[in-house]
Structure formats: structure tokens, C-alpha cells
Structure 1
Amino acid sequence: MKFGNFEAKNHIFMAPIKTALATPKTGFITDEQIRYYEKRAKGGVGTIILEPIAVLSSGKEHPKQTMLNTDEHIEGLKKLVDTLHKYETKLIVHLNHAGRAANPKASGEVLAPSSIKCPSTGQIPEELTVQQIDEIINAFKENALRAQKAGADGIEIQFGHGYLVHQFYSERLNKRTDEYGKDKLKFVRDLLIEITKVIEIPIFIRISGSEFVEGGITNEDLSKILALAEEFGVSAVHVGWGNACDSAPWYYNHMSLPLDVMDEKLREIRKLTSLPIIAAGRMYKNERYKYLVEEKVVDGVVLGRQLIVDPEFPKKIISNSNDYIRCGSCLQGCLGNVKAGKPVGCIANPEVHVEFNGKATSKKKVAIIGGGPAGLFTGLYLKKKGYDVTIFERNNYLGGQWVLAYRAPGKLSMKDTLDDLIRKAEKELNIKLNTEVSVETFKKEKFDVIIVATGAKPFVPPIKGLENYITGFDFFEGKKVTGEKVLIIGGGLIGLEVAEALVIQGKKVTVVEALDSIGRGMEIVASKLFQKNYAPKIDVYTNTLVKEIKDKEVIVEKDGKEFSLGVFDEIIVTAGTRPESQIYEKLVSEFDNVYLVGDAMKVGQIIDAAQEALELSEKI
């Protein structure tokens, strides 16, 4: 693959996804970070676009963001470059300044072309002075020079996604009255002039194909940027989506968003420039990485989260193997962890930045009771150790609550991940479906280890008169709600997913939650989508307890006062779950080496089950 003066072993790129693996505040590249990228290089990716480097502290988005703002940072970057080159994998250094999207907890200040609020952070930036603009342009140049000195194969400048460069050329975000406001392209032009003066390695730019906001970037705007890119000898254009401040679901490419909109937009952009185009945005979904290249819509594909869940995905698709795990685009471990200040993670790959240390000294025969996420992950890790593993599952299918999770609105992509995990388990493990076990089962057949992964069951609070109801589990298992007016008891993740589904069906929905807020456990982008699309159509009562059901009338208590919510046709209970571990209590009194894992031990999410599976498997 050759783009101008850039050449790589294949047309697969890794997207610049934040890892939170650099040193806090100083942003030095760590050995853990190098191992993380090395694993992806081993997996066959042709080019890695490094996670975003903030050219100045004022442009940082999180405290562990990678930096290249001093000469002392060059050594760590060179070590990373040299490591990736062992696998003939190229490294492009991605340079950015967040502008109004900066996080003041990391940046100390928020600066932008104009003082326009960033909705996703709530921050109102200070307007940049001309001197500060000069400092930022110089910082881009100095960072690019350090990347070149470290041996990087190219640099990429963030021109899109609502970050600083984008803010300057946006009519919507640049309200300046000076020369940078009268000529919206002046900052872009000045930046390219300064960088191309000193940089000899290839230059990429990253743009937003669309912001998906009113008054956002148009094809006419893009054509001007692309013309400048051609004029200054840019090697390729990297197309992403959305705006970090105004359209976060598109920026992170949430699983509920349509694919065809992006495909159509890419076809339009293809007509705007002769430069090579690489594109991101769930390229693994429906094998878009194939047809968009074959149709010459794009010249290269950019994979982000897909290389987090399965670092060897490039090798596998190049060899026409389907032995991969696809990303479900849930954002729980990648975005969720980093936003929480933790290293990047994944619900289906607890080895994102660590290695499984399981070393078996002898072969063991293991029984796992339960074929949900915890059972499947534990089984696969123990198989990796060379153990003989049998999974006993009482249902006629594998997956446990994961099967219910993807039935919620907009979450069907999570089925891809589960399907791939099940396919792998069926190939590698002994699986017995429709099988109830007891103490007698294990007296008849001897196992060295028994693992209980029986998950959790719905909790139904003791409410006077609560008789005719279904649970959230029942709802997603297919039980119909025929009434028009529906009460949901419990406003956690499952409760709100049920509420979304019912709103789509046209039902009148009321949610009662005992705590002071709703949406516990809901991933951050899904929560924003819920607040925008569904919350206005739902009646929500927080700090409220359901005290009694009289026939179909619901009596609640709030702030010490009881009152009626009225009559409801249906009641759905989503008041949380409790571990289902009765079989463990029986087994542990009869056998040694009996363990609990997943929700059967402590109720959590899929990412917790996968992590616990890895840790337990290392011990056994």
C-alpha cells in the first residue's frame, strides 16, 4: 500500500484511541503502553496511528494523555517506534489540541478561537489571543519535529471532530472579528506552512466526514480543507465522524447509529479529492472493510475498538479466517474506563494491556456450572492452560444475561461479540446444554475443580399487593406488554432499557426509583442518547418508594408523604438482581476446590465477569 511518500505492508490502520496508559500529568510513554501497541503490531496491523498527543497542556483531554512537549519525551516514542518496526508496522503520531473540548482537570485552562460552550463538558472557554495562537502553531511544529526525530513514519494532524483546528475553520464555532475570524482558513494555512517547512516525513490530516449537528461542516467546507491538503502535499485524509462537544455518539460511533449514512457520506467525500482516503467508523461491521475498499470508496480502513477486542483481527481477515471476536461497539470498557480515569479495557478482552499468566503444572478436569459470560470466559482461559473443561448449562442456549442485553433497543451489535464468543467456546470446550446439575452429578463424575457461574436472578421487593407483574428479564425474554399505561419499578440500566423499548412501542411509561438518580450502570453515551431521545417521553419519580398496589392503583411514598400515582395496566419490576448461588452452598460442603465467579459471586457487568474469569483462571 502506497500513499504518496507513505508506504505500509497493508491497508489496515489502527485508530488513535486514548488508552490512559501514559504517566499521569507528564504524559511519558510507559512500558505498559509499548506492550499494548506491540500486541496490535503482532496481530498484523499495517500502521498504528498513535493515541492523541496534546501539543500543549492547555489542549489535554485527560490526565494520562500522551505528550511530546519536551525533548525528554523523544526517547519513549523512539522505543515504541523501534518496537513496532520489528513487525514491519508503521507508526503515525497523531497531534491535537482539544480547544474548547479540553478537560480543565487535565489542561488547567480551556482555550478556543471563540468563547462558545462545549455541551459535553459544560466548559466555556476563554478566547485565544493572537500570541497564544502563535504559541499553539509553534507547539504543533515542535511536536512534529520531535516525532520525526524519534523515527516516526508520519504525523497526523487533527483537523476534525470539533477540536481546535476544526473550531477555527467552522462558521459555527469561530466568531472572531480579527484576521483569524475574517479568514476562517488562516489558522489551517498557517499551521500547514509551519509544519511543512520542517517536516520531511508524510503528513496525514484527520477530518470529520460530518458533525451531524445543525450548522455543522458541509461538503463545501471540506472541499476547501481538502484543496489545502493537496496544495501542501498531504499524503492521505483520515475520515472520522461527529464532534467531541456536540455529537459525542457519532464521535465515538455508538452501536445504535446507522452505517449507511457514513457510507453515503464517504462516497461524497471521494468525489471531493484525489488524495487517498482512509476511514474509521465500525469498519468491521458487515465487512465494510471489504466492500468500501473493493468499490474504491476508500483506500484504507481504520480499525479502533476492533483491535482492542481482538488484536489479531488483521491477520485473521487477511488469511480469510473467521476465528475472530467482533466488537459490539458498547463503549463500556474502552471509553468508560478512560473516562473514569482507568486504563483502556474491553468487555470481551480482559487482556487489553496485560497478559494472561496462567501456567499449568498439570492437567485438570474442570466443571463449570453456567454458560453465561463468566462461565464462557473462565472456560476459554482454562482451556488455554490445557485443562479439560466441561460447561453445564440448564438452558438450551449459551450466553446467560448477555442474550437479554442485546435485545434492548440499539444494542443488537452486542450479539456479534456473543456469537463469536460462543462459536469459539463450542469449538474448544465440552458443552452440555439443557442440563441441570446437583451434588449427585459430581459424585458420579469426578472433577478436580468445580466453578459455579450461575449468574443472578431478578430481585422483587416485598411490596404489599404486588402480584400481577413481570420482571425486566421476562420482558426481554419475550413476554408481551399489552396494556397502554405501564409502571416500571426500578430505574437502573435494565429499567431504562425496558422504558426505551416501551416508548418505541408507543406506551405511556412511568419509572419509579428509590434512589436520587436513574440510569445506574448505563454507559455514558447510551445515557446521553436516553436523556435526549427517551427521557422527555417518560414520567420519572426519584427518591420514591412503591408502598402498595391496590388492585391496579399504585401508592408511593416520597419525602415522607404517601400519594397515588394512579392506575396502571401493567407493572414491570426491574429493581436489580441478586446472586444465584444456591448450588454453590451445597457443593462447597461436599467437595474441595469449588469456586464462584461472575454475578453468582457479586453482581456486576460483563466487563467485570470477564476480568474475574481471567483472575480466577490464573489461580486455578
Structure 2
Amino acid sequence: MLYTSIKFRNVELKNRWVMSPMCMYSCENGLANDFHFVHYGSRAQGGTGLIMVEATGVEPKGRITNHCMGIWNDEQAEKLQKIVDFVHGNSDSKIGIQLAHSGRKGSTWNNKQISLEEGWETVAPSPVPYQPGERVPHELSVEEIKNQIDNFKKAAKRAVNAGFDVIEIHAAHGYLVHQFLSPLSNIRTNEYGGSFENRIKFLIEIVDAVNEELNDNVALFVRISGTEYAENGWNISDSVKLAEILKNHHVDLVDVSSGGNIHGAKISVFDGYQVPFSSAVREQANVKTGAVGLITNVKQAEEILQNGEADLIFVAREILRNPYLAVQGSFDMKENCFFPHQYMRAKIS
């Protein structure tokens, strides 16, 4: 299954390997540069079915650090289009982008909040800092929430115009959308807080706004945290319920990670530790899912698919170590995978 194709709308992935979005902290003013061109282009040469560009801020305050990527202006989109064009012109890979807003977890460096002079005032659904000692984030008004939804919509339009095949909304890892989902970080009492339906409202309105900019040639994914490992917090039952609703709002795949919203949460980490969350969402919500979390080899990835625990395999650290993970795995499994014609003398049949 790992080397079989799969379609989302009209977007056909040649295999089930996905490069997970990972921050590179290498931009100035949110602009992609030569490093990003080589970084993403090399994974396309390695046969990865879908390459996801890192969390990309929909506004300046949506970045995690001063050196994170952005797509809030046309110059940034033009730099990204150069990467998209190379991937499309030199491989069978598709390429997506993760649209994100850091919320209260922004204005940092090396996981520590930086000064207002170096950074910015963070925003959140409620005036609750991520960890003790940090500045209290600004609580978004309803009007400001609507502006943020519009930021996602405008970013999606730029991404579509740049040629991306997939748009992913980042609603995981404790960033702004996740902050709205969780009853521990969202203690609002108006229409964007309180009940489950109110807490998911921000995400659903983003999904609907983004879909207005998409067509059948661009698929829509949403990344969620299956659980936040905290008592009375967001949990897998909430994720299943949310996934059912997302499916009805034309989301093509739910990318299931975990954690990130509660400082100091205890997480037991082992190979494939997040796969059960993907499996539960896939089975109970009847949606396509992506599995992520210390998936490191072709045998493990194939077993996840064969067991019906996911539809796509999102790989992070291992694909940083080995850009050619997909094509090398195809050698082991004697399967077909894109191989650059320039390297054909090195192909193992």
C-alpha cells in the first residue's frame, strides 16, 4: 500500500509518504530563500509523495519566531512559487503548505518568549499565558477573530495562486486554532467559547473561508492534536467528533498529531506513539487520516497502512536525516517510485 496512489479531490499522490511540516527557522521577513529551495527540492528528488512546507504565518504575529516563514504578502508567495515550480517540474511529488497562527506561543526563540522590543504582543482566545512567567496574551475580540479568519482566507488564495496542491490548516500543537479548541486555554463566555460547538467555531469558519478559495485541484487537510494529555482538556473523543464535522465541511484528510497546548504535560514517547490517535479518528469518524510520530522505516509505515490505521504516513525527523527515504524504501520493497533521471545509474532494481 505504501507505494500505491491515492486521490484527494483531483490531487493524486503517487505514494503514501508525506514530509511532515517542520519549522526551519531560516527566514528573514517571512521570505523563503535558497536554503528552502534546496531543502524542499531534495525531498522531491527522493520520491516523497507529498511535501508539506513548514508552518507558515498568515500574519506577522502568526509566526512562532522572527525567522519563521510567512505568506501574508505577495513577495513571500512569489518566493514560495519558485519552490513549487521546481517540485512540479522535476519530480512526481505534490507539494502543500501549512497555514498557521502561533497565538500565545509566538514571539519566541529557543522555546523562550522574547521581549516586546524584539518580538510582539501575542494573541489568544483568552488572557491565559502558555507557561508561568510569560506575558499575558491579548484576548481577541470578535472583530479581531473575524480578521484572523480573513488572514487565513487571503493566505489560502496566495497559496493557490502559487500553485500549491494541498492547503493544511494548523489546528494542533497548542497554536492559535488549538487554543480555541481546548477548554483549558479557551475560557471565553461568548460565541467562541464555552461549549464544544462554540470552541470549534473558529476552526470551522476558517475551513469554510479557505474552501472558498480552493477548487477541485487543491485539497484541504487539517492537522489536529488527538489529545493534549491533560485532565479535562481536549481528548480523542473530541477529536473524533470534530473530524466528523470537518468531513462535512469538505476537509479531505485529518492529520492527527498530539500535545503541545499544555505546558509540562507528561507524554510517553515511543516509535509510532501517535498512530493510535490516527487510527481512532479514521475508524470512528470514517475519514481519511494521516499518521505521524516517530515513524522511521518502511516496514513500520507499511504495517500502519495495512492495519487500516491511516491513509498517509507523515514523516518528520527521519526524512530530515534521509531525504531519499521514499525511494530507498521502494528498493527494499521492490516497488516503483520516482527516481531522478540524472541519478539513474545509481538505481537499484
Q: TM-score, normalised by structure 2?
A: 0.84
Q: Deviations over 1:136-175 (max 9, x none)?
A: 1100000000000000001000112111111112112111
* Cα distance, 1:196 vs structure 2: 1.4
Task: State how far apart, in whole Å, the 2-side matches of 1:193 and 1:157 are.
Answer: 11
Query: What's 1:299 paired with?
Result: 311
1:284 and 1:238, CA in 2 relative to 1: closer, same or farther beyond 3 A?
same
> What residue number does 2:173 align with?
161
For residue 192 of structure 2, the aligned residue among 176, 180, 189 is 180
2:212 pairs, out of 197, 200, 203, with 197
Partner AA of 1:13 in structure 2: V
Structure 1 residue matching 2:193: 3-state secondary structure: helix
Q: 1:208-607 alignment to 2 at 5 Å?
A: 208-246=225-263, 257-259=269-271, 261-284=273-296, 287-320=299-332
Change (3 A) 1:260 1:21: closer
Q: List gaps (5 residues or longer) in structure 1.
A: 251-255, 323-620
Q: Based on CA coordinates, which of the two structures has the bigger radius of gyration?
A: 1
Structure 2 CA distance, aligned partners of 1:248 and 1:44?
36
- Choose between structure 1 and 2 for higher RCO, CA contacts under 8 A separated by at least 6 residues: 2
CA distance in 1, matches of 2:36, 2:150: 27
SS at match of 1:93: strand
Deviation at 1:214, TM superposition (A): 2.3
Deviation at 1:272, TM superposition (A): 2.2
The answer on whether the counterparts of 2:172 and 2:225 sit within 8 Å (CA) in structure 1 is: yes
Instruction: For residue 54 of structure 2, give the secondary structure of its aligned residue in structure 1.
Output: coil
RMSD (Å), alpha carbons: 2.2
1-structure distance, mates of 2:273, 2:101: 28
SS in 1 for 2:212: helix
1:33 aligns with 2:36: yes
Indicate the percent of aligned positions where both proteins have the same amino acid.
29
The correspondence for 1:20, drawn from 22, 25, 43, is: 25
- 2:15 aligns with 10
Equivalent residue for 2:144, pick from 108, 116, 132: 132
Aligned to 2:85: 82
2:223 corresponds to 1:206: yes
Aligned to 2:59: 56
What is the SS of the residue equivalent to 2:199? Answer: coil
User: How far, CA to CA, are the matches of 2:221 and 2:247 in structure 1?
Assistant: 11
Deviation at 1:286, TM superposition (A): 8.8
* Aligned equivalents of 1:211, 1:285: Cα separation in 2: 26
Q: Answer yes or no: is the 8 Å Cα contact 2:229–2:265 preserved in 1.
A: no
Tell me how far apart the structure 2 counterparts of residues 67 and 261 of structure 1 sit (CA, whole Å): 30
Identify if the C-alpha distance between structure 1 residues 312 and 282 changes in structure 2 by more than 3 Å, giving closer, same or farther.
same
Letter aligned with residue 201 of structure 2:
K
Matched, 1:93 2:97: yes
- Contact 2:298 2:329 (8 Å CA) reproduced: no
Q: Deviations over 1:238-274 (max 9, x none)?
A: 1112115525785xxxxx7234653433332222222
Aligned residue for 1:80, secondary structure, equals helix
The 8 Å contact of residues 116 and 173 in structure 1, kept in 2 or not, is answered as yes
Distance 1:32 1:121 in 2: 35
Distance 1:74 1:121, change over 3 A: farther
Distance 1:98 1:169 in 2: 14
Describe the superposition over 1:401-426 as per-residue Cα deviations: whole angstroms up to 9, x where unpaired: xxxxxxxxxxxxxxxxxxxxxxxxxx
Aligned equivalents of 1:139 and 1:199: distance in 2? 15
Contact 1:204 1:234 (C-alpha < 8 Å) held by counterparts: yes
What is the one-letter code of the residue matched to 1:161? H
Give secondary structure in 2 for the equivalent of 1:39.
helix
Q: Distance in 1 between matches of 2:192 and 2:320?
A: 39
Q: Give the alignment's TM-score, normalised by structure 1.
A: 0.48
Equivalents in 2 of 1:196, 1:321: separation in Å?
37
Q: Give me the whole-angstrom Cα distance separating, in 2, the residues matched to 1:8 and 1:190.
A: 28
- 2:162 pairs with one of 150, 153, 156: 150
The runs of at least 4 aligned residues of structure 1 exceeding 6 Å deviation read none
Q: Look up the SS of the partner of 1:21 in the other structure.
A: coil
Aligned-pair distance for 1:63? Answer: 1.3
Answer yes or no: is the 8 Å Cα contact 1:59–1:107 preserved in 2: no
The answer to whether the Cα contact below 8 Å between 1:17 and 1:304 also exists between their aligned partners in 2 is: yes
Tell me the matched-pair count.
315
Structure 2 distance, partners of 1:72, 1:309, is 31
SS at the partner of 2:223?
strand
Question: 1:101·1:121 contact (CA, 8 Å) conserved in 2?
Answer: no
Separation in 1 of the partners of 2:322 and 2:209?
Answer: 39
**Equivalent position amino acid for 1:202 in 2:** A
Q: Give the distance between the partners of 1:122 and 1:149, measured in 2 at CA.
A: 38
| Inter-partner Cα distance in structure 2 for 1:247 and 1:17 | 22
